A and B are shown apart, each in its own frame.
Chain A
Amino acid sequence: MEEELSVASRAVAVGGRRKPERLPGEARRIGYLYVAPAFILYAAFNLFPLVQGVNISFYNWDGISPGTWVGLANYREFFTDPAIRSTYLHVLELMFFYTFMPIVIGLFLAVVLSRIRIRGLTFFRMLLFLPLVITDVVTAVAWTWVYGTRPAGPLNTMLEAVGLGHFIPSAGWLGDFNTALPAVGVFGMWGGFGFSLILFLAGVMKIPASLYEAARVDGANALREFLAVTLPGLRYELQVVVVLSVIGTLGTFDEIYVLTAGGPGTATSVPAYQIWNRMFNTGQVGSAAALGLVLMLIVFAVTFAINRAMERGGED
């Protein structure tokens, strides 16, 4: 008892914190040496620029001539400038295609496909993953061809062939104010469904068959089975897909640049594109810095919120 007291008091004297116990002969400082190279690089190019970015965001700057101090004006724009808000609205709309649809398709297909043992699953997995693995720019180029009007790509060719040619907008799918964003969305849906399908398929395989049997004995039909066994069993995979795709969608850039360049007008502008645009094209560097930091905060908040919500919620 007395010994415990003395140990405790020593810990308090050291600074209130219990130091990690030293093993005999353990070199304590060497850990820093191993971490240093990575950390120096990381701090120099990831952490330090954050601080710099905060500084820049307080200025109105065109990148060439000296900037003028404007305090929080760039941040206030977030509430006043409709162009900024619209980028986030666009991203929200994209999430329907990038997150929601792949999940729905992936779930449905996973449930259907899990009923049989699939031979050559590795081969199919490879094909389904291909869109995700190949450079975004390449797949985007492929889709500009798919959506192509003059010369006609496969989509328009097919529509013409079945007599639905009048649906094709004159400016092309990617050039029309109404269809541009959904067109980008479909691209994302195509890119994302393979991943969620594979993830869910693997997850469904892990659900013990006994749970389904128990449900069946309890008299559940297919829908009830899905809601009561499958969905809860996929909770982890769902969380992963939602978090990854939401964060990915928030940072969408490559395909916007290639498919639409934010256009027509600003119909498909997204936060990342707007930041790039303001930095290089419109000379609003301070604003770009501010927008970058705001995007980061939103990503943090969303990640936190999703993880919180999904860990707490019992069902979907």
Chain B
Amino acid sequence: MARVVYDNVTKRFGEVTALRDFSLEIEDGEFVVLVGPSGSGKTTALRLIAGLEALTAGEIRVGERVVNRLAPRDRDIAMVFQDYALYPQMTVYQNLAFGLKMRKMPKAEIDRRVRHAADMLDIGELLQRKPRALSGGQRQRVALGRALVREPQAFLMDEPLSNLDAKLRVQTRSEIKHLQKQVGTTTVYVTHDQVEAMTMGDRIAIMSEGVLEQVGDPRAVYERPANIFVAGFIGSPAMSFARMNVQQSDGHLTLSRSELRLEVTGDPGPLPFEVIVGVRPEHAWIWREGQGLRGPLEGRVQFVEMLGKESMIGVDVSDDVTFVVHAGADSSISLGERVQFGVEPGRLYLFDPATNGALARV
């Protein structure tokens, strides 16, 4: 069993707390992505598993073994670095074989593993080349290969795609995922790119300022964000937020702000007087009758972003509150125009202004 478990892990660098009471259980064979902005502690969390940093408090277990005090080489993990960290003076073959050689594996076994990994990654022809003679994409594969040959209990990947150009990145994403499914090794993957996280992770752990904000599968995290941070981080373009007043009565809700007014049916339970309302652009449409939309809300167009198949329109509804709304490619909205828009039912997210936590969805 190769689970990876963070048990109340805290990491401090002098005065700065990089990771605060972090707990997470990663199941055997799972592909978990740690995602968050820079400074969120995701890289620190990864390096703690590797043993490249020592933790301040808590426990980390790899396959039921507490690894806190173990040197990286004894933890049975393999890491893929952001800059690949290939040994510049060694050939690709030697790079791949190095870790195995250090573990005194018999030459025949080393050779078998290296060639097997090279086949899987389609780098068999590059084995005698040195890193400087390889392209970025090829180097990245070698870095992956180095982890593969070790056949460890867990793969640790530190933003391995961020040095690739966009097109290669998309292609390699699916290749990595496919590879992982083939090999079945537990994988902890760090990225700052939420699209990457959403497409690759079995589960996503969203982090911010050293704290785990939410963990769940992509759908859960998208549909039911636990707080404003997660709601705003996941999904692109980001969710629009507005603080609004609430008036509740039986089965009926009125959300208001200045001249804005939204009438909603539903009973989400007791709410505070003020909530933060969140709407994803993909759920906000330019107003059309008979669509069953909530609204209409009205405002002045602030910006228009034509994306080909659709347009994103920023609507200034009142005192500097902007909702991003989307329209079909055939719409011809112009700047400064007054438009109306509505929200799909069940897609108004309500958050508590005091805790930023999610309250309900109406």
Contacts and interface: CB of A to CB of B under 8 A. Distances in A.
Interface of A: 3-4, 7, 18, 21-26
Contacts of A25: 51, 69-74
A258 B194 CA distance: 74
Contacts of A7: 12, 56
B51 A23 contact: yes
Which DSSP category, helix, strand, loop or mixed, fits chain A's interface?
A: loop
Contacts of A21: 54
B140 interface: no
B57 interface: yes
Interface of B: 10, 12, 14, 51-54, 56-57, 67-74
Contact of B72 (A4, A18, A22, A24): A24
24 contacts: A3-B10, A3-B56, A3-B57, A4-B12, A7-B56, A18-B14, A21-B54, A22-B54, A23-B51, A23-B52, A23-B53, A24-B51, A24-B54, A24-B67, A24-B69, A24-B70, A24-B71, A24-B72, A25-B69, A25-B70, A25-B71, A25-B73, A25-B74, A26-B71
A22 B54 CA distance: 7
A217 to B, nearest CB: 38
Contacts, number: 29
Q: Which 10 A-B pairs have the closest CB atoms?
A: A25-B71, A24-B51, A24-B54, A23-B54, A24-B69, A24-B71, A24-B70, A25-B70, A21-B54, A22-B54
Given A3-B10, A25-B73, 16 more contacts: A3-B56, A3-B57, A4-B12, A18-B14, A21-B54, A23-B51, A23-B54, A24-B51, A24-B54, A24-B70, A24-B71, A24-B72, A25-B51, A25-B71, A25-B74, A26-B71
Contacts of B67: 24
A26 B51 CA distance: 10
A157 B351 CA distance: 98
Interface centre among A3, A21, A24, A26, by most B CB within 10 Å? A24
A123 to B, nearest CB: 29
Contacts of A4: 12
A1 to B, nearest CB: 11
A45 B68 CA distance: 44
Nearest to B73: A25
Contacts of A3: 10, 56-57
A7 B55 CA distance: 13
A281 B171 CA distance: 81
A148 to B, nearest CB: 54
Nearest to A27: B71
Contacts of A22: 54
